[in-house]
Amino acid sequence: MSNTEVIVTREEGSTLIVTITRPEAMNALNASVLKALNAVLDRVEGEQGKHLRALVITGSGEKAFVAGADIKEFEAMTPQSARELAHHGQKTFARLETLKVPVIAAVNGFALGGGLELALACDFIYASENAKFGLPECTLGLMPGFGGTVRLPRRVGAAKARELTYTGGMIAASEALSLGLVAKVLAPAELLPAALETAKTIGSRAPIAVAMIKKSIHEGASLTENAASDLEAKLFGELFATQDKTEGVRAFIEKRKAQFTGK
């Protein structure tokens, strides 16, 4: 187990559990959280993280996943410093979105503002029954700055994203599920175990193949259908040069469980 001031991490098998831990501020994002999250991503991308196959991100306690950014930090900001903060948050979340290993958001409570933007940068979201989602920045005279107006329309459609961001309203986990914002809704006690079980399943698959699938979905989303299909074919072909492909096919033919090594 590793601890920082604002983030706690622990490993369970090949999964790294990342917990945002600012209970006094409902786990709100600030410069310290972004710095600590980048340090975690450095670890995952480096030698220390070679054995990792998935991340699960959650918030401490039962009330909040991440209840937005730390508004107290906004009072003294200038337009220039605010723009720099937005770029910093966007770059951090882009690192998360393009990380080779899948990232599951286990949303245990309020995911508002920067908290929803963080969850949207993950590959998919599991939510507690008492989770709430929203981008309420307009109620403060502001707008989302960490990718909310970019990723939310792509997840739920432009019309619903407009409604949520123009009104600053919140939706319950059940509505988030119906919109396709979240993949699964669970009882609070079942949330983290379910996320970890899915992460364990992902960890049992061929890691290079999973990374290629993630790359194809992410990069293909911004391409034309023909260009996205070309990318898929290219990545498909590259997998035929891996030991994991040889092992997976051989194991299927021999009717045994494949033992993937990530090579």
- CA distances (Å), 16 to each of 11, 84, 137, 187, in order? 5, 29, 31, 22
Active site residue 117: yes
CB 142 within 8 A of CB 117: no
Q: Do 57 and 114 form a contact (C-beta atoms < 8 A)? A: no
Q: Which of 107, 119, 93 is nearest to 34 (CA)?
A: 93
Determine which one of 117, 219, 225, 232 is catalytic: 117
Burial class (CB in 10 A: 0-12, 13-18, 19+), 17: buried
39: left (phi over 0), alpha (psi -120 to 50) or beta: alpha
12, 75, 97, 137: the active-site residue: 137
254 is catalytic: no
Query: Could you list the active site residues?
Result: 117, 137
